[in-house]
A = this chain, B = another copy of it.
């Protein structure tokens, strides 16, 4: 029996949200039927988006330290509930004995087949990295990026969740969704793990929201249950 490895803290509330989704999706009736996890919650990892777009401090050494820690302690798979960190997915995967799930691939694969145009809400860094756009295009979905002003609201929403200001976060996200409703989209990908936390405060918009945290949790639970990690040896 292996542990689920979680490289988290980016941000911490998103890590807690991810763990809670795993727990709820496991559908256990008592402690001993739940999935074991080892969580490296490392919030000091330098800002991923700033590193990609503004030449900020490189987060890769901290990411690889976290990958090492999890591997040293017998995890059987690793999930990283931070979309922007997936700019370094190839380097993390090459460094890890345990398989590494890809939040963007998992999330794009979860989009309903009838969707043809989907907005991507993410950090400027993740959008600049481009993995969501590539994953959507590979599935025949046209990615739609927010204009400059709604993108600033996306960034403000993410910062507000990280600072535990849920009211401000919800207002910013509501502005983004209003701006997107003028576009001809079928879905919006919440491609930053802070956004689903803000979305929970809001009424559902006319288009579908695809929650990257939830989709990564679904894939993680599927992976672990298929291998019987919920059953004590």
Taking Cβ atoms with an 8 Å cutoff, the residues of A that contact B are 1, 9-13, 15-16, 19-20, 23-24, 27-47, 69, 72-73, 159, 162-164, 232
Which B-chain residue is minimally distant from A35 (CB atoms)? B43
A-B residue pairs in contact (CB < 8 Å), sample of 22: A9-B37, A12-B19, A13-B23, A16-B19, A16-B20, A24-B164, A27-B164, A28-B162, A30-B163, A31-B43, A31-B44, A32-B45, A32-B46, A33-B43, A34-B44, A35-B43, A36-B41, A36-B44, A37-B39, A38-B38, A39-B41, A73-B73
Chain B residue numbers with a CB within 8 Å of A72 are 73
Chain B residue numbers with a CB within 8 Å of A41 are 19, 36-39
Chain B residue numbers with a CB within 8 Å of A16 are 16, 19-20, 23
Chain B residue numbers with a CB within 8 Å of A30 are 47, 159, 162-163
Do residues A11 and B36 form an inter-chain contact, with CB atoms below 8 A?
A: no
